[in-house]
Amino acid sequence: MPHGIVGRFVAACLAGVMAVIAPAGACTNIMLIAADGTPVYARTMEYAMEVKPDVVVIPRLFSYSGIRPGNMQGIKWTTRYAVVGVMAFGQPFVSDGMNEKGLAGGALYFPGFAGYAPPQGSDPQSSLAPWEFLTWALTNFATVAEVKTALDKIAIVDLPAPIVNFTLPFHFAIHDATGASIVVEPIDGKLKVYDNPLGVLTNSPTFDWHLTNIRNYLKISAVNANSLTIAGQTFAPFGQGSGLLGIPGDPTPPSRFIRALGYVASAKQLADGPQTVRLAEHLMNNFDIPIGFIRTDAKGGDLEYTQWTSVADLRAKKYYIKSYQDETLRSVNLMSFDLDAKTLYLAPFKANATPPALEFSKP
Backbone angles phi, psi at 253, to 5 degrees: -55, -45
DSSP codes, 280-308 = HHHHHHTT---TTSS-SBTTB----EEEE
| Whole-number Å distance between alpha carbons of 274 and 316 | 9
Q: What is the DSSP letter of 40?
A: E
| Whole-number Å distance between alpha carbons of 64 and 132 | 9
Amino acid at position 243, single letter: G
| Whole-number Å distance between alpha carbons of 90 and 123 | 28
Contact 27, 204 (CB under 8 A): no
Contact 61, 53 (CB under 8 A): no
| Whole-number Å distance between alpha carbons of 4 and 27 | 32
Contact 111, 169 (CB under 8 A): yes
Residue 292 neighbours by CB distance under 10 Å: 10
Backbone angles phi, psi at 279, to 5 degrees: -60, -45
Contact 262, 199 (CB under 8 A): no
Contact 199, 208 (CB under 8 A): no
Return all residues near 321 (Cβ < 8 A) that are at least 6 apart.
Answer: 55, 86, 308, 309, 310, 311, 329, 330, 332
Q: What is the DSSP letter of 144?
A: H
DSSP run (H or E) holding 134: helix 133-140
| Of 27, 34, 270, 316, catalytic | 27
Long-range contacts: 231-237, Cβ < 8 Å, 24+? Answer: none
Concerning whether 13 is annotated as a catalytic residue, the answer is: no
Catalytic residues: 27
